[in-house]
Amino acid sequence: MDNINKVPVSLRGILSKDRGDISNSSNINAREITESLNYDGETGDVYKIWIKNFFLNILTLGIYQFWGKTSLRNYIVGSYELAKHRFEYRGTGVELFRGFVKLSAYTLLISIIIGIPLFALYVHFAKITPTFSMGIKFISYVLPVLFFPFIFAAIYKSYKYKISRIAWKGIRGRLEGSLIKFSLMAFFLRHGLNLLTLGLLSPILRRMEYKYIIQNLYLGNTRFTFDDSVQNRDFNSIIFTNLITLLLTIPTLGLSRKWYHAKLLNYLSQCTRINDISFKTTFEWLDLFKLKTKNFFIIIFTFGLGGPIILNNNARFFANNFYVIGDLNNLELFQSKINVGATGEEFADEMHLSEDLGF
C-alpha cells in the first residue's frame, strides 16, 4: 500500500493490474498478505459525545437523539481503519429524523385503520356485554403479535440503511435483498423452526440467514460471495459443537454456547469473499465470554453509565479479531447509485435489535 501510493496514479492502474494477474495465477501467494482491521477510538471521546447527547436530548425533549446517534456513529465508524484507509459514516441526523417522522405517520395511519373499527365496536358493545369488551381487549393484545415478522423487516431495513452510509476509500457499501423474504426467513426459519427443533438446526439456519445477507452485500458495485464448498469438514464440527454445547447449556448456565458462537462466527467469516479477498475472524470462546462478562458487570456497577465503555470495548474487540486476507490494492471498486431512506431504522433501534452487526 505504502509503495503503491508513491507511484504516480497513471502508472498505478497498470501496476495493480499486474499484481492482480500474479495473484490470480498463484492463489497461495496472494493469501499471504493479511491486513488487520484497526480501531483507535478512545473511551474518553465516546464519553464526550455521549454526555453531550444526553444533555441535548433533555434540552430538546429527545429530538436531538437522531443527531446524537449520528455523531456517535460518525466517531465509531471513523475510528475503524483498514489498509491505512479509514472508514467513513455518511449518514445524517436529518435522514434519521425524516425516517422517524415517516414511520410515525405510517404507525398512526395503521393504528387509525385498525383502531377505529375496533374502537367503534368496543364503544357500541361495551355497555351490553362485559364478555364482548373483554374479547375486544384480548384482540387488541393479540394483534401486535401478528406484526412480529415486521420487526425483522425493520431490522433488515436498518441494516440496509447503515451499510449504505458506510464508506471505505470513498466507496459506499450496499445491501440488496427483499425485506419480505428476509423477514419470513428470520421469523419462520431462523427463530420459529429453531425453537421447534430446540436449537438442533441452529447452525444450518444461522448459516442460511448469514448467506442471504452476504450474497446481497456489495461494496460499491462489487458483490460479496459466500463460499462454503471447501469448509464442509469445518461445518460438520460446528454441528457437533452445537449438539455438545446444547447439552451443556443447563449445567454451564448457558456459557457453553459461547464456544459454539465463536466457532460459528469464525466459520461464517471464512466463507465470506469479495473477489479474491477473503476474511478471517479469530474469536475465541474464552475471550467472548470475558468480554460479555465484563460488559455485564460494567452495566450492573455503573447503573447504565458505562454504555460508552461497552461500545468502545465491543468495537475494539471486533477489530482485534478481524482480518482481511488478500491484496486489497487489487480490489478496484466503483461507486453505485443507491438511495435507502432511514425508515424502519428507528423502529429496529427502539427494540435494541441492531447490535448484532457490531455497530
Partner 1 sequence: MRATFFDGKTSSSHEVNFTIADKSIIGRIKDGTEVFNWSLKSLKLLQIHSENKPAIICNTEHDTEARIYIEDSNVYQSLSKELNNFHSIKKDIIAGWKTLIFMGIVVLCFALIPFWVVPTFSGEILKIIPSFITDDIGKNIMNPYLRKYKIVASTNDQVIHKIANRLNSEDINIFVTNDKSVNAYALPGKRIILCCGLISFADSSNEIAGVIAHEVGHIRAKHPEKRFISNLGGLLLIGGRHNDSLGFVTSVTQAFVNSAYSRKDENTADIYATKTLHKVGIKTTALADFFKRAEKKYEKDSASNSELLSYFSSHPKTSERIKLFQEEGESKEILSPTEWKEFKNMCKAIKLE
Binding residues for partner 1, rule: CB under 8 A, are 5, 8-10, 12-13, 40, 56, 60-61, 63-64, 67, 70-71, 74, 78-79, 85-86, 88, 92-94, 123, 126-127, 167-172, 220, 331-335
Shortest Å, Cβ 48 to partner 1:
11
For partner 1, give the closer residue by CB, 5 or 237.
Answer: 5
Among residues 27 and 60, whose Cβ is nearest to partner 1? 60
Nearer to partner 1, 93 or 149 (CB): 93
Sign, Cα dihedral of 51, 56, 62, 63: negative
Neighbours of 231 (CB within 10 A): 15
Q: Is the dihedral of CA 304, 88, 273, 25 positive or negative?
A: negative
C-alpha 217/C-alpha 70 separation (Å) is 22
Q: How far is the CB of 187 from partner 1 (least distance, A)?
A: 35
Cβ neighbours for 241, distance < 8 A, ≥ 6 positions apart: 259, 260, 263
Q: Is 184 helix (H, G, I), strand (E, B) or coil?
A: helix
User: Beta strands of 207-276 (E only): which ranges?
Assistant: 217-219, 222-226, 272-274
Minimum gap (Å) between residue 97 Cβ and partner 1 = 9
Q: Which set of grid coordinates corresponds to residue 279?
A: 476474511
Q: At its nearest, how many Å lie between partner 1 and the CB of residue 180?
A: 30
Q: How far apart are CB 135 and partner 1 at their closest, in Å?
A: 17
| Contact by Cβ (8 Å): 83, 35 | yes
| Min CB(158)–partner 1 separation in Å | 20
Q: What is the DSSP letter of 187?
A: I
Q: Which three cell numbers stand for residue 103?
A: 414511520
**Judged by CB, which is closer to partner 1: 88, or 287?**
88
Minimum CB distance to partner 1, residue 312 (Å):
14
Q: Which is nearer to partner 1, 101 or 247 (CB)?
A: 101
Which one, 295 or 336, has the nearer CB to partner 1? 336
Cβ nearer to partner 1, comparing 301 with 334: 334
One-letter amino acid identity for 223?
Answer: R
- The DSSP symbol for 254 reads T
* 56 HSE (CA, 13 A, CB side): 14
